[in-house]
Chains A and B, each alone.
Chain A
Amino acid sequence: QVQLQQWGAGLLKPSETLSLKCAVYGVSFSDYFWGWVRQPPGKGLEWIGEITRTRGTNYNPSLKSRVTISEDTSKNQFSLYLDSVTAADAAVYFCAARRASGTKRYPIQHWGQGTLVAVS
């Protein structure tokens, strides 16, 4: 069973870099795609991006210029970095996972507990 445990700074100043980490438990790291989704207060979900089985990355076009998702397979962890944050980046950030497959596209089915990030 996939378990995701996330952590990171919850208060940033404008122009700083957001940094969050997510640890993976219970599954082989190579069997899943690992990504991030955010949710501004009182608003809907927004996909940020993911790191794929081929260890490439795929990002939301609206955030691509500021986002980096990386992984540390030795620690079974992956990370999110978002540069030059503004008030518009304030949100709950979820780490997320979906099964990897060469032929099928699986949906996100596993979520971390969420981290509230404020920018002020």
Chain B
Amino acid sequence: QSVLTQPPSASGTPGQRVTISCSGSSSNIGSNYVYWYQQVPGTSPKLVIYNNGQRPSGVPDRFSGARSGTSASLAISGLQSEDEADYYCAAWDDSLNGFWIFGGGTRLTVL
């Protein structure tokens, strides 16, 4: 099962800006929106970015997203301790009959 490629870990100190990358292909990120989920271990995922760079209501504007070609990124500025979590990118893949595909996840540690 192919997945979107993310770095396994990222870290930063409070107040810093961190960026998490997500690499895909023409059948997923290259032709469809990218979404980002935040998951605190032991809880259900929470959508923090939709349509490449839009924030759902209630998500701080410290979170931003971008897409370029077959890659995407999530940036978190003004890092806070409560941002420590696993982050997953996701996209629809047009191959076969179409299906949702997730990245392998990035564990963000706030030092």
Contact = CB atoms under 8 A, between A and B. Distances in A.
A58 B92 CA distance: 12
Contact of B1 (A58, A60, A105, A114): A60
A105 B92 contact: yes
B63 interface: no
A102 interface: no
A45 B45 contact: yes
For chain A, give the interface size range: 20 to 34
Question: A interface, by DSSP: helix, strand, loop or mixed?
Answer: loop
Interface string B86-108: 00101010001111111111000
Interface string B70-98: 00000000000000000010101000111
Nearest to B41: A42
Interface string B19-54: 000000000000011010101000011010010000
Contact of A109 (B32, B47, B92, B105): B47
Contacts of A111: 44-45
Contacts of B102: 44-47
B99 A45 contact: no
Interface string B49-61: 0100000100000
A105 B32 contact: yes
Given A45-B105, A105-B33, A107-B35, A58 B45 contact: no
A61 B99 contact: yes
Interface of B: 1, 3, 32-33, 35, 37, 39, 44-45, 47, 50, 56, 88, 90, 92, 96-105
17 contacts: A44-B88, A45-B37, A45-B102, A45-B105, A47-B99, A47-B100, A58-B99, A61-B97, A61-B99, A94-B44, A94-B45, A105-B32, A107-B33, A107-B47, A108-B90, A108-B100, A111-B45
